Amino acid sequence: MKILLIGPQGSGKSTQAEFLAQFLNIPKISTGDIFRQIATEDSENGRKVREIQNSGKLVDDETTARIVEERLKQEDAAGGFIMDGYPRNIRQKDLFDPHFEKVFYLKVPDSEVTKRMLARGRADDTQESIKMRLNLYYQQTKPLLDYYKSQGILTEINGMGSAGKIQDEIRKNISK
């Protein structure tokens, strides 16, 4: 099963992807994790990705699509995977489409996501910058959600509540 989890930062998407990967015994593939790993490398590439991540920008679409395509060629992904963080926009999907069978959108109100991010206390998590990142997220994500909806593979999940309850809700929609 090829599954995509979509949701803004602070929606609990990564946790849900982790739970689901364990449950289905398939890998969780997170572009954020892949780029964080590359950023630790002592190379030109490592330095470049480090700079991009630290500034809060996105890695370019071509590089991202290529990295995902390569990752999915690995043997452990042959039986399916849970994708967390890719595609992030329509352009990425057009460059490389993993052909998901199910897409879950974790819906959490802006006020809650903002509260959770502010609680992390990170220097870049100011009210203003959170608002900007959220706006950017919706701008890029909305067209993707519309696309998956038109494919009939999108399920909206209420992302409020305990992690266990949300996971149950996702699993219910998989066995169907």
Q: How far is the CB of 33 from ligand AMP (least distance, A)?
A: 7
Binding-site ranges for ligand AMP (CB under 6 A): 9, 31-32, 35, 52-53, 56-59, 64, 85-86, 88, 92
- Longest CA–CA span in the chain (Å) reads 47
The alpha carbon of residue 16 and the mean position of all alpha carbons in its chain are separated, in whole angstroms, by 11
Select 66 or 115, whichever has its Cβ closest to ligand AMP: 66
> Residue 66 or 165: which CB sits closer to ligand AMP?
66
Q: What minimum distance in Å lies between the beta carbon of 176 and ligand AMP? A: 28
Report the alpha-carbon distance of residue 84 to residue 164 in Å, rounded. Answer: 18
Tokens of 91: 């352009």
Q: Which is nearer to ligand AMP, 12 or 85 (CB)?
A: 85
Q: How far is Cα 8 from Cα 137, in angstroms, rounded to an integer?
A: 7
Q: CB of 87: closest distance to ligand AMP in angstroms?
A: 6
Count helices and strands (H / E) in the chain: 8, 5
